[in-house]
Amino acid sequence: MNQKLSVQSTLRLIKGEKIFGPGIATLLEGIQKSGSLRKSAMKMGVSYSKAWKMVHSCEEHLGFKLLVCQIGGTGGGGAKLTTEAKELLDNFRAFEQEAQDVLQALVDKYFNKYY
């Protein structure tokens, strides 16, 4: 069976250095689902401290908070995304999809004779 050529890319937002990309996006999606930075980090296979560094670095570069955190207590701690973080995440995922669609159209245009 002859498969169509496709393209794979990784997109990152840069502001002098990498500030937002698939890693932090996946971390935020995990927090959104689990309500926990620790659980999201574990699922990704990164340490809790590495996850915090990712979040803080991104917050520093963007100039707004990504998380609202609740520390321990009787009900336990947790984290949830700020409104700005949700919007950033949604925009990034939409941007990724649109860029992928454009790149695939370019593959079809320039490399169609190879499949």
| 115: confidence class by pLDDT, cuts 50, 70, 90 | confident
- Return the CATH architecture of domain 17-102: Orthogonal Bundle (1.10)
pTM of the model: 0.89
* Element spanning 107, H or E: helix 83-111
Distance CA 43, CA 73 (A): 24
| 4: confidence class by pLDDT, cuts 50, 70, 90 | confident
- Per-domain residue ranges of the chain: 17-102
Exposure of 14 in the CB half-sphere (CA atoms within 13 A): 5
Distance CA 28, CA 36 (A): 10
Strands (E), the chain: 13-14, 18-20, 67-70, 78-81
